């Protein structure tokens, strides 16, 4: 089994726009160097989650993947534009990043990272139906087993099956 690890949450560097006073992602090269030095995942590969931290926990905003490096993908112009627009429209809270990374220097197949991203997007949609992702947002869960998987009241029978399958 391929095992990924989690790093974060890391506060995303932001600044307040002088005119609109909207918080925007700070793309200054020195600020970015400090950000990557702090979390040590710059060269990592895997899936990243932009989230908003608020009083009641975290809300996922956007989920992406990288097969090159987090540093090359996370703060690209498309991601920055989408996140900045969200905060420009009045979104509140602290912007954070989580990294779900492959902790080995061994090569990993791209389809594994793609499958991980698809699954994390599905979980993200359950937590926030307004996720910024435009791809992989069609529900893959078209069925459930009452009380065992994806809902329903847990009966004695369901409890036994869950125990049998280590769910």
Write the pLDDT tens digit of every residue in 101-124.
Answer: 998 888 899 999 999 999 999 999
pLDDT digits (tens, 9 = 90+) for 28-62: 899 999 999 988 888 899 999 999 998 889 999 99
pLDDT, averaged across the chain: 88
CA 143 centroid distance within chain: 24
pLDDT score at 140: 65
Distance CA 35, CA 1 (A): 31
Higher pLDDT among residues 76 and 22, named by residue: 76
Residue 18, pLDDT score: 77
Judge whether residue 21 has pLDDT over 80: no
pLDDT computed for residue 141 by the predictor? 65
**Listed ranges 72-76, 84-88, 92-96, 148-152; the one with the highest mean pLDDT:** 72-76
Between residues 19 and 84, the one the model is more confident about: 84
Q: SS3 letters for the chain?
A: CCCCEEEEEEECCEEECCCCCCEEECCCHHHHHHHHHHHCCCCCCEEEEEEEEECCEEEEEEEEEECCCHHHHCCCHHHHHHHHHHHHCCCCCEEEEEEEECCCCCCCCHHHHHHHHHHHHHHHHHHCCCCCCCCCCCCCCCCCECCCECCCCCCHHHHHHHHHHCC
pLDDT for the residue 5: 94
Domain spans of the chain?
A: 5-136, 141-167
In this prediction, residue 88 has a pLDDT band, given cuts at 50, 70 and 90, of: confident
């Amino acid at each position: 089994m391929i095992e990924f690890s989690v790093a974060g949450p890391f506060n995303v560097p932001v600044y307040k726009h002088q005119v609109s006073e909207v918080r925007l992602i700070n793309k200054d090269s020195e600020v970015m160097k400090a950000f990557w030095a702090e979390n040590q995942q710059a060269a990592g590969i895997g899936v990243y989650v932009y989230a908003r931290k608020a009083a009641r926990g975290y809300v996922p905003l956007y989920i992406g993947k990288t097969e090159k490096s987090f540093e090359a993908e996370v703060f690209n112009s498309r991601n920055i534009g989408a996140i900045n627009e969200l905060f420009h429209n009045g979104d509140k809270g602290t912007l954070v990043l989580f990294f779900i990374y492959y902790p080995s220097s061994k090569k990993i197949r791209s389809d594994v990272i793609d499958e991980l991203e698809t699954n994390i997007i599905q979980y993200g949609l359950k937590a926030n139906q307004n996720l910024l992702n435009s791809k992989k947002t069609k529900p893959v869960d078209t069925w459930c087993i009452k009380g065992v998987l994806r809902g329903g009241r847990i009966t004695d029978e369901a409890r036994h099956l869950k125990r049998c399958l280590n769910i």
